[in-house]
Amino acid sequence: MNERTGQGTALVTGSSSGIGLGIAHALAAAGHDVMLNGIEAEADVAAQRDRLAETHGVRTAYARADLTDPHAVDDLVGEAEDRLGPITVLVNNAGVQHVAPIGEFPDDKWELILALNLSAAFRAIRAVVPGMTARGHGRIVNVASAHGLVASPGKAAYVSAKHGLLGLTKTAALETAEHGVTVNAICPGYVWTPLVESQIPDTAKARGMTEAEVKRDVLLAAQPTREFATTAQIGALAAFLCSDAAAQITGAALPVDGGWTAQ
Ligand code: NAD
């Protein structure tokens, strides 16, 4: 436990960049010590980790771990608890995507997407739930997607994994409901991340469009507000779900998608 804030340890998978890093900042701002994870080398994440600790005055650690390896998930949970103390918040955020028509969808991409986006979340929940229920308190947040609620062509594995993650969320919520543990999913639409930003110039060139047109008419075509969500907005919702104020929200799938799934 963090002696200054009274909060415990938050493990955020896939938090070396993008949405996971935004969630890590929001949880650190709320006083949680944070275990970061990703596939990058420790040295490449050191500056981010230092900034997190210095900005919010919490303890941080980083573990490089490929969570498609079933044993890596248990090892990561063990390492987080050894270094920072019992996990009171788990955020399953690590995820990858591949786009191809179903008739051509490669086996290895199907296996990778299911392994990381769904199976790793199951294993992490399985690893932390006994401790959370024994202590009578815990918060689990799964980062799904608007694609957990609706489909798009070319995304068979991603849509299947994210729909599966919502089923896992509901089941875990019911199993832990009487033990002070909540389990919820956040369903982002398009979020402004370095990865999204880096794809825009090439798409603009390939389609003969301006970068503004790519944002509005390609990436945000399904998002009625025509604006990206931000990593800070996703982080703020995750931090709220982890607060005492959200104790009666469990088993929910909360869209942050500018109205996409209202259509
Ligand atoms: P990102 O590509 O910016 O970051 C991915 C993170 O996952 C990194 O920290 C990376 O190190 C880690 N990672 C990748 N492979 C891994 C592996 N095998 N084991 C452990 N960690 C691994 O991703 P992002 O865009 O911030 O997306 C984060 C989550 O949000 C994903 O689950 C994604 O499906 C979901 N999401 C993203 C968007 C979006 O617009 N960016 C929209 C909806 C949902």
Distance CA 209, CA 61 (A): 43
Same domain, 166 and 201: no
Same domain, 174 and 209: no
Model pLDDT, residue 136 = 98
* Whether the Cβ atoms of residue 112 and residue 69 lie closer than 8 Å to each other: no
Same domain, 221 and 235: no
CATH, residue 72: 3.40.50.720
Distance CA 158, CA 148 (A): 8
Model pLDDT, residue 165 = 99
Model pLDDT, residue 241 = 98
pLDDT, tens digit, 9 for 90 and up, residues 149-180:
999 999 999 999 999 999 999 999 999 999 99
**18 CB less than 6 Å from ligand 1?**
yes
Both tokens of 235, joined, read: 């982080």
Same domain, 132 and 215: no
Is the residue at 263 inside a domain? no
**Ranges of the chain with pLDDT below 70:** none
* Residue span of the structural domain in which 219 resides: 192-227
Same domain, 14 and 136: yes
Model pLDDT, residue 260 = 97
Same domain, 19 and 62: yes
Burial class (CB in 10 A: 0-12, 13-18, 19+), 248: exposed
Largest pairwise CA distance in the chain = 58
Is the residue at 203 inside a domain? yes
Model pLDDT, residue 206 = 87
Model pLDDT, residue 50 = 97
Is the residue at 2 inside a domain? no
Model pLDDT, residue 196 = 87
Tally the residues of the chain: 263
For ligand 1, the distance from its centroid to the CA atom of residue 36, given in whole angstroms, is 13
Is the residue at 120 inside a domain? yes
Is the residue at 1 inside a domain? no
**96 CB less than 6 Å from ligand 1?**
yes
Model pLDDT, residue 203 = 85
Q: What Cα–Cα distance (Å) separates residue 16 from each residue in 11, 36, 61, 177?
A: 12, 7, 11, 31
Same domain, 145 and 113: yes
| Catalytic site residue from 110, 158, 190, 228 | 158
- Report the predicted TM-score, pTM, of the whole model to 2 decimal places: 0.97
Same domain, 223 and 135: no
Q: Whose CA is nearest to atom 11 of ligand 1?
A: 38
Number of domains in the chain: 2
Same domain, 222 and 142: no
Q: What Cα–Cα distance (Å) separates residue 68 from each residue in 76, 94, 121, 125, 150?
A: 12, 10, 10, 15, 25
Residue 190 a catalytic site member? no
